[in-house]
Chains A and B, each alone.
Chain A
Amino acid sequence: MIILPIVLSIGLLLYSISIFLYLYRILKGPTTSDKVVALDSIGMNLVAIVALLSMLLDTSAYLDVILLIALLAFIGTVSFAKFIEKGKVIERERDN
């Protein structure tokens, strides 16, 4: 079982490199949409990283976190998308 930590570490390293590349996109990305997609992808990478980490740490305590990141990344991206489209995140009801 010596091979598993090594493989996991390699995986973590790859994901980290991937996060750096996304960060580059966030800093550089010509439009806001580029940046938001990069942030969403970082979220997905984090899901993977947390999964790898919980294998590495040999615990099931982080499975909630994985779900949560996926959920939040979705919510965040949707809000950003709405913001980019309408300039607002939450619209007012019509009768007000």
Chain B
Amino acid sequence: MDSTADSSHFIYFIFLTFIPQTMQGVVTETMPWIPSLGINFTVVVDGLSLLFALLITGIGSLVTFYSIFYLGKKKERLNNFYAFLFVFMTAMLGVVLSDNLVVLYLFWELTSISSFLLIGYWYHRERSRYGARKSLLITVFGGLMLLGGILLLHVITGSFSLHEIIGEATVVQASSLFIPAMILILLGAFTKSAQVPFHVWLPDAMEAPTPVSAYLHSATMVKAGLYLVARFTPLFAVSGVWFWTISLVGIVTLFWGSITATKKQDLKAILAYSTISQLGMIMTLLGVGAAALHFDSWSDDIYIGALVAAVFHLFNHATFKGSLFMMVGIVDHETGTRDIKRLGGLMRIMPVTATIAFIGTFAMAGLPPFNGFLSKEMFFQSMVDVTTLNLFNADTWGILLPVVAWVGSIFTFVYSMIIFFKTFGGKLKPHLLPKKPHEAPFGLLLPPIILAVLVVVTGVFPNLIAKPLLEPAVKSIMPSLYGTDYHVHISFWHGFTMALMMTFGVIILGILLYKTANWWRPFIKEKVPRFFQWGKAYDNSMYYMEQGSYRFTLWIMTGWLRTYLNYMLMAFIILMLGTIFATDALNFDMSAISRVTMMDYVLSLVIAVTLVGVVFSKSRITSIILLGAMGYTISIFFIVARAPDLALTQLVIETISVVLYLLVFYHLPQFSNIEEKPKWLSVKTLISFGVGLVVFLISLSAYDTNFYDSISQYYIDNTYTKAAGKNIVNVILVDFRGFDTLFETVVLAIASIGIFGMIKLRLARREKNENK
């Protein structure tokens, strides 16, 4: 790319050079990352990516310029700020340019993390930390859902490449994982784009510095979800679930956001809810535009209009909302407050800012000649068109969409008027302002001026961007349009349509509502929140989740080993009994059993007597003596079973154990002196009987279940001939299976070293002595 050589230091201009290419098709570039897993950093620039990339880099440059003047050079940690901001910018570019879904997810999470860092930029404030944590929790929840969706798509198609997956759309649509993948990806998009009910993080993200709010929380990051929805439209749009979910969530968000925005006092909070509302509007348009996929030819189909409106409004919203946030930042900077109760009458003092605000707010409200007017007209037009759609029952329930959209737009008009007239109209209240207001320096004004100029220019001459930017973007959302002679043409005036009537209605009712605001605002402000508040719901759910897990942990983690032992043994009983009965493994075949002699009976009886004695003895020393007796009896069992080596070892070990018991005996506490009668039906007895029974059943069933012959004949034949020994046990221990012996020896060594260390190394006592 020779043409970029001059401007290669300014990424915005690099992206501008892509416009001619994206008008034709797509530009692809691949850098291998993990090729064996199909994960490569593939960059695909098409119309949609380019539109986003231009917004990101363009507004990013303006915001950076604005921040230079906004943030104090001495007081702020600017290195952190710009590092976070540029990490975010890179991540956002990565999201919109990646073709590989894993890489997309990676950048997606990087936007969440850098947004978290930027919201918590003033980390000494409690509210900033709260907002940062909230936004991270919600967006990362959505990000993980998105990852799930990506993996499901990978399961279906075997590819991580977006374009390959869309190429196999029919396979995906036939799959049973189609709906789960769609829902998961939508969850990711809704959380990021602050759709109801996941919008709660966005107002709290306003604790970030204003340039961050302008950039992340109006122009770019919150549009990542919209990008995702637009991206996946060719894949999922065949489904009615997609159409209805997106349209309904969008329209509810539009309505809720605009209503809530009217009751806020903080300018940034109004703008936050307005952003939520506008994002809902774009989401609705994308949902309705999905219907376009069901019609083969574009010529007689009006639903592509919804997509054009979505893409157009996405661009418009980025411009005017960016300028509005910067305007609020200026007002905050120059007056020291953002509270609309304290502001007013700034028009004379800050004329330039007021002009910017005028353009921004009325572009948002949808007045001519600003670009918001055009996209709102197109929005109304699409909403009206939905009612004629003969798909997904839209002809019956679709009437809800234009009505709700219209009411939402009225409130949009109202809060736009509130923003402008409460700040700049009315009387100046100098006694309420922390600072003496004056016009902002030129550096702060320039970026919003550029954006405002864009708002006007694209409003008056929409076709300036329609052909180079919007048309390729719409074609990316509807790939079937490639190669057709479809052209986006936005006319400023298109006759007395239904949409125009709706706009008139919005303006008239909006002015009426604004005039009577004192009468109905308290109702929204005080009565409605009494029933329901999303933020409260979030806080409560966090509180109860924390309390719940805390209580649960306290309940289950008692700190007593006996409780944990109970858990383990109960799990053993349940799992084992379950397995025995599930696999029908019980086997009481006694045919292979050997003859039981008198001796066996007697020895078993001795062991039973000592066992009962151990369990019921009242003093420890009796228990120890009885354990010794039991050990000796077991050695007799070994003798009867013809195992002299075992008997020898057992006797020695038993004696040593008894001596060891006696060694520590002196230090042991007595059994509790309370005469406790053993309860026959306590949990402990039940568990111990259960364990005994299960082990008994298993050994009995396993005894006669031989799948293969024993391999012992080999040892019997070869002990002397191959290993030069007559004692078969010892030869196995040191020759045939000497490795086990080696490590048993190591175990003994470790045990003895450990005992030595525990006795000799008394760090606590030594420290105490040194302190003295």
In the complex, A42 Cα to B606 Cα: how many Å? 11
Which chain A residues lie closer than 8 Å to B655 at the CB level?
A: 72, 75-76
Which chain A residues lie closer than 8 Å to B640 at the CB level?
A: 53
Q: Let me know if A88 and B666 touch, CB within 8 A.
A: yes
Q: Let me know if A65 and B648 touch, CB within 8 A.
A: yes
B621-658 interface with A by 8 A CB criterion: 621-622, 625-626, 628-629, 632, 635-636, 639-640, 642, 644, 647-648, 651-652, 654-655, 658
A57 within 8 A of B: yes
Which chain B residues lie closer than 8 Å to A69 at the CB level?
A: 632, 651
Which chain A residues lie closer than 8 Å to B632 at the CB level?
A: 42-43, 46, 69
B600-617 interface with A by 8 A CB criterion: 602, 605-606, 609-610, 613, 617
In the complex, A50 Cα to B650 Cα: how many Å? 14
A27-B626, A46-B632, A76-B628 known; A61 and B662 CB under 8 Å?
no
A23-B613, A53-B640, A72-B655 known; A13 and B625 CB under 8 Å?
no
Which chain B residues lie closer than 8 Å to A36 at the CB level?
A: 625
In the complex, A87 Cα to B635 Cα: how many Å? 29
Q: Which of A16, A42, A90 contacts B629 (CB 8 A)?
A: A42
Which chain B residues lie closer than 8 Å to A9 at the CB level?
A: 598
A53-B640, A68-B652, A76-B658 known; A89 and B622 CB under 8 Å?
no
- B640 to chain A: closest residue by CB: A53
A16-B606, A43-B632, A53-B639 known; A89 and B651 CB under 8 Å?
no
Q: Let me know if A26 and B598 touch, CB within 8 A.
A: no
Which chain B residues lie closer than 8 Å to A88 at the CB level?
A: 663, 666
- A53 to chain B: closest residue by CB: B639
Which chain A residues lie closer than 8 Å to B523 at the CB level?
A: none
- A75 to chain B: closest residue by CB: B655
B659 within 8 A of A: yes
Give 1 or 0 for each of A54-88: 1 = CB within 8 Å of chain B CB.
Answer: 10010101101100110010011001100100011
Which chain B residues lie closer than 8 Å to A75 at the CB level?
A: 655, 659
In the complex, A32 Cα to B613 Cα: how many Å? 15
Give 1 or 0 for each of B198-211: 1 = CB within 8 Å of chain A CB.
Answer: 00000000000000
B599 within 8 A of A: yes
A62-B644, A65-B648 known; A26 and B625 CB under 8 Å?
yes
Q: A13, A36, A50 — which one has the most chain B CB atoms within 10 A of its CB?
A: A50
Q: Let me know if B666 and A39 touch, CB within 8 A.
A: no
A19-B606, A50-B636, A65-B651 known; A32 and B621 CB under 8 Å?
yes
Which chain B residues lie closer than 8 Å to A62 at the CB level?
A: 639, 644, 647
In the complex, A50 Cα to B629 Cα: how many Å? 15
B665 within 8 A of A: yes
Q: Which of B609, B644, B658 contacts A65 (CB 8 A)?
A: B644
Please give the distance in Å from B727's CB to the nearest CB on chain A.
9
Q: Let me know if B610 and A50 touch, CB within 8 A.
A: no
A5-58 interface with B by 8 A CB criterion: 9, 12-13, 16, 19-20, 23, 26-27, 32, 35-36, 38-39, 42-43, 46, 49-50, 53-54, 57
A23-B609, A49-B636 known; A79 and B662 CB under 8 Å?
yes
Q: B605, B632, B652 — which one has the most chain A CB atoms within 10 A of its CB?
A: B632
In the complex, A57 Cα to B654 Cα: how many Å? 24
Q: Which of B602, B613, B639, B658 contacts A16 (CB 8 A)?
A: B602
Which chain A residues lie closer than 8 Å to B648 at the CB level?
A: 64-65, 68
Q: Let me know if B651 and A35 touch, CB within 8 A.
A: no
- A76 to chain B: closest residue by CB: B655
Please give the distance in Å from B621's CB to the nearest CB on chain A.
6
- A80 to chain B: closest residue by CB: B662
- B665 to chain A: closest residue by CB: A83
A39-B628, A89-B659, A90-B663 known; A23 and B639 CB under 8 Å?
no
In the complex, A49 Cα to B635 Cα: how many Å? 11
Q: Let me know if A39 and B629 touch, CB within 8 A.
A: yes
In the complex, A95 Cα to B359 Cα: how many Å? 96
Interface size classification for chain A: 35 or more
Which chain B residues lie closer than 8 Å to A16 at the CB level?
A: 602, 606
Q: Let me know if A65 and B647 touch, CB within 8 A.
A: yes
A12-B599, A64-B644, A76-B655 known; A46 and B636 CB under 8 Å?
yes
Which chain A residues lie closer than 8 Å to B663 at the CB level?
A: 88-90
Q: Let me know if B651 and A23 touch, CB within 8 A.
A: no
A13-B598, A65-B635, A88-B666 known; A23 and B658 CB under 8 Å?
no
In the complex, A88 Cα to B659 Cα: how many Å? 10
Please give the distance in Å from A64's CB to the nearest CB on chain B.
6
Which chain A residues lie closer than 8 Å to B666 at the CB level?
A: 87-88
In the complex, A59 Cα to B666 Cα: how many Å? 43
Q: Let me know if A72 and B609 touch, CB within 8 A.
A: no
In the complex, A79 Cα to B196 Cα: how many Å? 78
- B644 to chain A: closest residue by CB: A61
In the complex, A9 Cα to B600 Cα: how many Å? 12
In the complex, A39 Cα to B622 Cα: how many Å? 11
Q: Let me know if B644 and A83 touch, CB within 8 A.
A: no
Which chain A residues lie closer than 8 Å to B647 at the CB level?
A: 62, 65
B486-508 interface with A by 8 A CB criterion: none
Which chain A residues lie closer than 8 Å to B639 at the CB level?
A: 50, 53-54, 62, 65
Q: Let me know if B610 and A23 touch, CB within 8 A.
A: yes
Please give the distance in Å from B683's CB to the nearest CB on chain A.
27
In the complex, A42 Cα to B57 Cα: how many Å? 92
Q: Let me know if A39 and B625 touch, CB within 8 A.
A: yes
Which chain A residues lie closer than 8 Å to B636 at the CB level?
A: 46, 49-50, 53
B674-718 interface with A by 8 A CB criterion: none
Q: Which of A20, A43, A61, A80 contacts B609 (CB 8 A)?
A: A20
Which chain A residues lie closer than 8 Å to B635 at the CB level?
A: 46, 65
In the complex, A87 Cα to B662 Cα: how many Å? 9
In the complex, A36 Cα to B625 Cα: how many Å? 7
In the complex, A64 Cα to B647 Cα: how many Å? 10
In the complex, A26 Cα to B654 Cα: how many Å? 17
Q: Let me know if B651 and A79 touch, CB within 8 A.
A: no
In the complex, A12 Cα to B652 Cα: how many Å? 23
In the complex, A61 Cα to B666 Cα: how many Å? 39
In the complex, A6 Cα to B132 Cα: how many Å? 89
Q: B605, B626, B636, B665 — which one has the most chain A CB atoms within 10 A of its CB?
A: B636
Q: Let me know if A26 and B652 touch, CB within 8 A.
A: no
In the complex, A79 Cα to B654 Cα: how many Å? 14
In the complex, A19 Cα to B633 Cα: how many Å? 10
In the complex, A36 Cα to B652 Cα: how many Å? 18
Q: Let me know if B652 and A35 touch, CB within 8 A.
A: no
Which chain A residues lie closer than 8 Å to B599 at the CB level?
A: 12, 53
Please give the distance in Å from B509's CB to the nearest CB on chain A.
97
**Beyond A68-B651, A90-B663, 5 extra complex contacts between A and B, CB < 8 Å:** A26-B613, A42-B632, A46-B632, A49-B636, A76-B658
Interface pairs A-B: 4 shortest CB-CB: A72-B655, A61-B644, A16-B602, A83-B662
Q: Give me the interface of A with B, judged by CB distance under 8 Å.
A: 9, 12-13, 16, 19-20, 23, 26-27, 32, 35-36, 38-39, 42-43, 46, 49-50, 53-54, 57, 59, 61-62, 64-65, 68-69, 72, 75-76, 79-80, 83, 87-90
